[in-house]
Chain A
Amino acid sequence: MLNEAWIEPGLNHYLMLSAIIFSLGLLGVLLRKNAIVMLMSIELMLNAVNLTFVAFSKYSGNINGQVMVFFVMTIAAAEAAVGLAIVASIFKRFKEVNIRFFEHLKG
């Protein structure tokens, strides 16, 4: 089972690692109740995607993937800022950041 091709890291290894991290992020969003932890799980998923971009960029010799990572990072930072601002306004009202309070956001 553990032959040379499995130990030596290649594109597959990075993709599998990224898939596992992405699934962990997904589970975090599905299972947690704390809105901030859910935001962090989204960051985790974005990181996994970035890892695939960089891995493909290296193994296909095409640097466009790294530009994509650059964009994803910027968007992720922006998303985190907005998410935290919304969470902060929720916290000011309910003194908790449980996801179920978000239904009060409408209107």
Chain B
Amino acid sequence: MTTDAFLFWFLALVTFISALGVVVFANPIFSALSLVMTMVTVAALFATLNAFFLAGVQLIVYAGAVMVLFVMVLMLFDLHKEKKAFTQGAFSGSVKLLLGGLLAGLIVGAVSMSKELYKAISDQAVTNSATGIESTKALGQLLFTQYIFSFEVLGILLLVIAIGVVALARSKGGTHVK
């Protein structure tokens, strides 16, 4: 077993366990903390795929900002362990579980059967695999040339969302009622 393989299997295991934790923890705070763990391991998986810049951005944006927001809101609401964390109904619940399992099984089965196809892609990729710094540069160049319009639209979207969130949060019943 090489270092790469060990790293992948370790990260995959931790990612799976913490992702499972998000769903099964009855206390929302523990759910959120285990989602943070998932974010960190996904960032590490990005790093194993040579996407170092994205790994850093994942840490800063997801783990450092979005999840802090979640945890802060949960703590502010003072949500303790919920007795009925899951939806009611044995039948509908089992159907939902079955659906989720079926989806996962279908995708995993499809992926494992189409091994040959992906192998062809992988062989072709060896020729143009980029290292960390080069891929960051290429990413920036692509973002500011080919995708510049989408990037600008994203900026406007963020502005709109910021205004909308302030409007929502300051609505009736808030702490800033005039």
A–B contact via C-beta, under 8 angstroms:
yes
Q: Which A residues are closer than 8 A to B by beta carbons?
A: 7-17, 19-28, 30-34, 36-37, 39-41, 43-44, 47, 50-51, 54-55, 57-61, 63-64, 66-67, 69-71, 73-78, 80-82, 84-89, 91-93, 97
Residue in A16, A50, A58 whose CB lies within 8 Å of B112? A16
The smallest beta-carbon distance between B113 and chain A, in angstroms, is 10
Asked whether B121 lies within 8 Å of A32 as measured between CB atoms, the reply is no
Question: Which residues of B in the span 140-166 have a Cβ within 8 Å of any Cβ on A?
Answer: 142-143, 146-147, 150, 154, 157-158, 161-162, 164-165
Shortest distance between the CB of B42 and any CB in chain A (Å): 5
Given contact pairs A23-B104, A26-B103, A69-B54, a sample of 9 additional A-B residue pairs in the complex whose CB atoms are under 8 Å apart: A7-B5, A24-B100, A39-B70, A44-B38, A64-B146, A66-B135, A73-B58, A80-B66, A86-B168
Residues of B within 8 A of A (CB): 1-2, 4-5, 8-9, 12, 15-16, 19-20, 22-23, 28, 31-32, 35, 38-39, 42, 45-46, 48-51, 53-54, 57-58, 61-62, 65-66, 69-70, 73-74, 77, 79, 82, 84-87, 93, 96-97, 99-101, 103-104, 107-108, 111-112, 115, 118-119, 121-122, 124-130, 135, 138-139, 142-143, 146-147, 150, 154, 157-158, 161-162, 164-165, 168-169, 171, 173-174
- CA–CA, A66 and B2, complex, Å: 26
